[in-house]
Amino acid sequence: ERAFFGEKEKKMPPKRVNLESDQDTIKEEAMKIVKSEGFKMKRKLDDDELMGALKHASTMLSEMRTSMMEPKTYYELYMLVTDELRHLESYLLDQLEKKGSIGDLYELVQYTGNIVPRLYLLITVGSVFVKAKQVPTRDVLRDLVEMCRGVQHPLRGLFLRNYLLATIKGQLPEGEDGEDGTITDSINFILLNFSEMNKLWVRMQHQGHSRDRKRRETDRMQLRLLVGTNLVRLSQLDGVGANTYKKNILPHLIEQVVSCRDPIAQEYLLESIIQVFPDEFHLVTLEQLLDACVPLHHTVNIKGIVISLIDRLVEYFKRTREGGVVVTEIDLYKVFSTSITSLLENRRTILPEDAVSIQLSLLKLTVECYPSNLEYVDELFKTAKATLATLDITTVHPHTAVCKELESLVLEPFNSFSDLSTVLQIESHGSMYEMFESETRHKLAVDVAKKITDACFAISSDSEAEVVFGTLIRPLGMWKGTL
């Protein structure tokens, strides 16, 4: 097999060393080689000896083949190596400006003896060709993202693909047409890179002995940003609108999230999707996002995902309302209420306190977006009670997690509505108190009485008196416990 620059293939030890002192030793040795070869590479570049420079670059990049480093240590090595590669990239760009061509360099570096150095060099040279408009961007993107499949070691593959994404970042086509490529080419490139990186990331969980599971999970959490960077790049493409996102991007992302069947990946990626894409995109894809939560792994924190989405749209509503803008014709309450009900019905493993917490978040959205629509608030309390009933909960015991969440839910209207008479008009609100035992009812009655006195609220009708004295603070006159 032909080797570039006479490079000899050498086997790298598969053993991974975990001791911190050993990791420091391995890092120091690798970085010493990288600095030495990087220095020699730059000397050759200064002397315009490109072939000699590439030989030292290849030797330097061979350090990226190690299997002995933890993610944190490998990251430090990666940063040093890519910093050295920037000198090579700068030189090649300068040569292109001076000479207009650097020959068949892209084909030449493909003869590098080992695949890891080969692909780092290919990406570096390919990005230079793209920046100099030597070849159509779409061709280079397609070529590089496919060739990176040659590295299937999770740690090495993740950092290699991250280098590809970072190096080509500013050169992605964003127009609707053109010989260089289109926005569709850029979307397809990032989506494919994302899919492959997610597979590598998930694969880490299933390698090694079961006793190392916690360590692998820790490693994966350290590497999650590498995968998430693809989502950030997608969100930064100027040519992507809400319609393109809805039809061409989100379905692919959801397919990857659901099909990987990995709770760490599913939770992190859905949270990332919610955070990195614009609010306007979420408004037109609410049902898609919420429906995607149903088939997720049973250990995924659904509550956090749903509440994150609700909270984000509440903040968006506040900002746009302050600016005098009509937010949306979409009925956020109806969409969320329907999807959440379906979600809770289909995920029987959800904790009751999490179900109530989601309803509490929806209540805050309802009051913020539809403050005059008490029918929605009334319906929400009925739904919350019915949801707990499906979980065989008709009474909540004091000091339990579900009791705490339910207390917050029934007290929230007093915090959200400035006029307490509005709270007294919510028909199903009072029936929620029936779910508590006497100790909790008395505690709630004290809280409500304090809110009424603090607001200097004056009862103005018999119906209000009936709600206040007949339901809300009635336990104060009948409680048999101790203060």
DSSP letters for 134-191: SS-HHHHHHHHHHHGGG---HHHHHHHHHHHHHHHGGG---SSS-TT--HHHHHHHHH
For the chain, which ranges sit under pLDDT 50? 1-3, 6-10, 13-14, 479-483
Q: Quick one: tokens of 436?
A: 């508590």
Position 329 scores a pLDDT of 78
Q: How far is CA 430 from CA 312, 351, 448, in A?
A: 30, 24, 12
Neighbour tally for 416: CB within 10 Å: 16
Neighbour tally for 350: CB within 10 Å: 18
Q: Name the packing angle between helices 154-168 and 115-131 (round to 10°).
A: 10
Task: List the one residue out of 269, 288, 142 whose CA is nearest residue 202.
Answer: 269
Position 107 scores a pLDDT of 87
Neighbour tally for 264: CB within 10 Å: 20
Radius of gyration of the chain (CA): 30
Q: What is the pLDDT of residues 19-32, one digit of tens each?
A: 667 889 999 999 99
Q: What is the pLDDT of residues 334-361, one digit of tens each?
A: 999 999 999 998 888 899 999 999 999 9
Spatial separation of the C-alpha atoms in residues 289 and 412, rounded to whole Å: 26
Position 18 scores a pLDDT of 55
Residues 52, 39 contacting (CB under 8 angstroms) = no
With b for 16 or more beta-carbon neighbours within 10 A and e for fewer, the 294-310 pattern comes to eebeeebbbbebbbbbb
Distance in angstroms between the alpha carbons of the first and the last residue of the chain: 85
Spatial separation of the C-alpha atoms in residues 235 and 141, rounded to whole Å: 18
Give phi and psi for 456, each to the nearest 5.
50, 40
Position 1 scores a pLDDT of 35
Spatial separation of the C-alpha atoms in residues 341 and 472, rounded to whole Å: 28
Return the H-helix or E-strand segment holding 294.
none
DSSP character string of 34-88: HHHHHHHHHHHHHTT-HHHHHHHHHHHHGGGG-SS--HHHHHHHHHHHHHHHHHH
Position 483 scores a pLDDT of 39
How many residues are given for the chain? 483
Ramachandran category for residue 141: left, alpha or beta (phi over 0 → left; psi -120 to 50 → alpha): alpha
Neighbour tally for 181: CB within 10 Å: 24
Give phi and psi for 10, each to the nearest 5.
-130, 140
Spatial separation of the C-alpha atoms in residues 242 and 13, rounded to whole Å: 48
Return the H-helix or E-strand segment holding 3.
none
